[in-house]
Amino acid sequence: MEVLEKTNYANMIDQIKDGKYMLFFTADWCPDCRFIKPAMPEIEAEFSEYKFLTVDRDENIDLAAEMGIMGIPSFVAFSNGDEIGRYNNGDRKTKKKSKISLTHLIN
């Protein structure tokens, strides 16, 4: 999974203006983030039409604030630069529940 370097909202939108992207907001200290990380390769494969980008919430605290990201891990789906849905996984859902929630997010 590619890492989105420190950026602001306008620059991030410019980077993802073409195609489908899933932003995965996370932090090293977050136990719920560590819980879902081993499942991420399978989740990425399941949603292969999206390019997944890891966003370190602490490094991108201003971006997270601009986007209203209040909890992590959070997933935010974009299509051609437009947000199409978001999902917060802060209550330690299983891989299966996360995949079901992401499916609802993008459909």
6: in domain: yes
Q: Tell me the average pLDDT of the chain.
A: 87
Q: Domain span at residue 12?
A: 2-102
Q: Which residues are catalytic?
A: 30, 33
Asked if residue 45 has pLDDT above 80, the reply is yes
Joined tokens for residue 26: 């996370």
pLDDT of residue 55: 97
Q: pLDDT band at residue 93, thresholds of 50, 70 and 90?
A: low
28: in domain: yes
**CATH value at residue 30:** 3.40.30.10
pTM to 2 decimals? 0.81
**CA distances to 39, 43, 85, 86 from 104, in Å:** 18, 14, 9, 10
Q: Which distant-in-sequence residues (6+ apart) come within 8 Å of 67 by Cβ?
A: 9, 76
Domain count within the chain: 1
Q: pLDDT band at residue 70, thresholds of 50, 70 and 90?
A: confident
86: in domain: yes
32: in domain: yes
107: in domain: no
